[in-house]
Amino acid sequence: MWSVFRKEINHFLSSLIGYIAVIVFLLATGLFIWFFPDTSVLEYGYASLESLFYLAPWIFMFLIPAITMRSFAEEVNTGTIELLVTKPLTDLQIVGGKYLAAVLLVLLALIPTLLYFFSVSKLGAPPGNIDTGATWGSYIGLLLIGATFASIGIFASAITRNQIVAFILAVFLCFFIYVGFDYISRLPVFFAGLDSLIEQIGIDAHYRSISRGVVDSRDLIYFGSIITAFILFTKLALESRKW
């Protein structure tokens, strides 16, 4: 698994993919936090990173599928998938290596945003007047969302050889699992009395829960279950190529 992980990381860092992903994420979030009047913390007048934590999942929704769309689709198109599956690695190790590489890239994109946290903290009156618990909870939530989107992106890449199709499919699945169930829960004509249960199926409800600063085991189990499910789906898709 670690050989696949190193190969993927080297590919990200030896090309522009990893650098562009991190730069795009930091540029987009930086503009919204500091420059755009409607979301700027300077205009808001309150020491908070709410705009970052609201915007980041939507950026991840497009950025992570763009990173993961080549994971298996490119291997199939270039024929290297045959070499990969003949190595002394299980399908789960191959999937795990590619998945962990994508998650590491998400983490590398989040780490520089800590500068935003320290900057906003210093701007508070008095300095340090920021809800630290909610901030760290939101960071944990963002990492879990990024990890979930990465598992979805890897799966989408494994079921098609076309990278564009993989990207579009991953974006759709990320969008639907993130806010789709929240929208469905608002249709009482069809789901009267089940709105709360349906809302809990989506990511957004659990992200909002963690963002309050309380890391509930139910939220961690939810994210872990979604990630595990898509990793197993990816393993199944990889195995199906041998049939």
Range of the domain at 177: 2-240
Average pLDDT over residues 147-171: 94
Unique residue bearing structure tokens 């930091």 = 26
Q: Which of 112, 111, 116 is nearest to 49 (CA)?
A: 116
Kindly report the pTM of this predicted structure.
0.91
pLDDT band, very low/low/confident/very high, at 52 (cuts 50, 70, 90)? confident
Better-predicted residue by pLDDT, 79 or 206 = 206
Residue 80 has pLDDT above 60, yes or no: yes
**Window from 54-68, 129-143, 163-177 with minimum mean pLDDT:** 129-143
Query: pLDDT by residue (tens digit) across 97-133?
Result: 999 999 999 999 999 999 988 888 877 666 666 778 8
71 secondary structure, DSSP code: T
Better-predicted residue by pLDDT, 243 or 93 = 93
Structural domain total, the chain: 1
Query: pLDDT by residue (tens digit) across 202-230?
Result: 999 999 999 888 888 999 999 999 999 99
Average pLDDT over residues 27-49: 76
The whole-number pLDDT of residue 44 equals 67
Better-predicted residue by pLDDT, 211 or 2 = 211
Please give the full DSSP string across 88-128, using - where no structure is assigned: S--HHHHHHHHHHHHHHHHHHHHGGGHHHHHHHHHHSSSTT
